[in-house]
Amino acid sequence: MKTLFASLLCAASLAAGGTAAAAGGPAFPTRPVTLIVPNAPGGAIDILSRLLSERLQKTWGQPVVVMYKPGANTVIGTDHVAKSAPDGYTLGIVVTSHVINPTLRRNMPFDTVKDLAGVSMLVTSQIVITATPSFPANDLAGVIAMAKKEPGKLSYASPGSGSSMHLTGELLKNMTGIDMLHIPYKGSGPAYTEVMAGRVPLLIDPLFSSMPHIKSGKLKPIAVTGKTRDPSAPDVPTVAETISGFNVQSMFGLVAPAGTPREVIGKISADVGTILRSADFKARLAEVGLTPAPSSPEEFDAYVKAEIAKWAPVVKASGATAD
């Protein structure tokens, strides 16, 4: 009888374990989760964070609290994540500056690769090169020809030195051998004003932010910087149609502290992927110019390493620094 009871108990335990595995792995979360946003409220990252936190809260049945920790081009918020307990209960949104900062800043308070674990790529968004309406060239080939004819005379505006938009311009210079003057502004607002007024001929900024000005005729689109044309602006060519291999998009991803159990990271990644692939979530993101790009944790880690290597020589050649 004891043997029979032990056998039944063992079978019950195995069944329970199988049920837990079938239900999606570890029992996570069992308490509130904090999502760190390394920017001030407002803009695409804020919208994405709130949409994602709402869906995760429904999926998990636990509060997902959005906490803003802006500063130092996203370093302050991401540093908080890197130094948090590695248990999955503190997660962080990262953006393109995450892969630029390791070269841009000599005194990083954390190691981007060693102190953080990728959970998933979240979304991407297009960057666009635009021109003041009176600008003579109508396409990228024309821009390049003008820059080569008078090296150093042509200028472009960006929302700040060391930003992904600034470095998109520097990558364009590196890959074409042209010389253009970078004019940084403190944010996109004054950059738009100067370019639309014709005081600066070119601007590099997110497509979503630029679209109202393109539609109103206040800016002339030259090219988007992603590898494919954007559905919201199918008539605007890509840079890659003129310069083979050129591909730059704004990136948003999710990270956790290094040392977070892999099964917990795997569960979060799977749940996030399910949300990103849902039709209604895709539709909501499209309204703000974001394209879902879910990945595995391993794929996102590999992406971060590759992008750090990609941007390092561009940052160094530009001379930009944040220290």
Closest CA to 59 of 274, 251, 239: 274
| Tens-place pLDDT, residues 178-237 | 999 999 999 899 999 999 999 999 999 999 999 999 999 999 999 999 999 998 899 999
CATH of the domain at 136: 3.40.190.10
Compute the CA torsion angle 231, 182, 194, 94 (nearest 10 deg).
50
Give the bridge partners for 68, in sequence order.
37
Same domain, 179 and 116: no
Domain assignment of residue 204, yes or no: yes
The secondary structure element, H or E, covering residue 119 is strand 116-125
Same domain, 140 and 223: yes
Task: Provide the pairing of β-strand 116-125 with 250-257.
Answer: antiparallel
Alpha helices in the chain (DSSP H): 2-22, 44-60, 75-82, 97-104, 140-149, 164-176, 188-196, 207-215, 262-277, 279-286, 297-318
Work out the average pLDDT over 294-322. 95
Which two structure tokens, joined as six digits, stand for 240?
A: 């890659």
Where does a domain end: 224, 241, 258? 241
Same domain, 208 and 254: no
Domain assignment of residue 101, yes or no: yes
Same domain, 181 and 227: yes
Same domain, 116 and 192: no
Same domain, 119 and 132: no
| Tens-place pLDDT, residues 54-69 | 999 999 999 999 999 9
pLDDT at 79 over 50: yes
Same domain, 120 and 255: yes
Domain assignment of residue 174, yes or no: yes
| Tens-place pLDDT, residues 133-171 | 999 999 999 999 999 999 999 999 999 999 999 999 999
Domain assignment of residue 52, yes or no: yes
Structural domains counted in the chain: 2
Domain assignment of residue 28, yes or no: no
Where does a domain end: 219, 241, 263? 241
Same domain, 254 and 120: yes
Same domain, 96 and 188: no
pLDDT score at 14: 39
Same domain, 263 and 311: yes
Give residue 308's domain range: 33-124+250-318
pLDDT score at 25: 62
Same domain, 57 and 100: yes
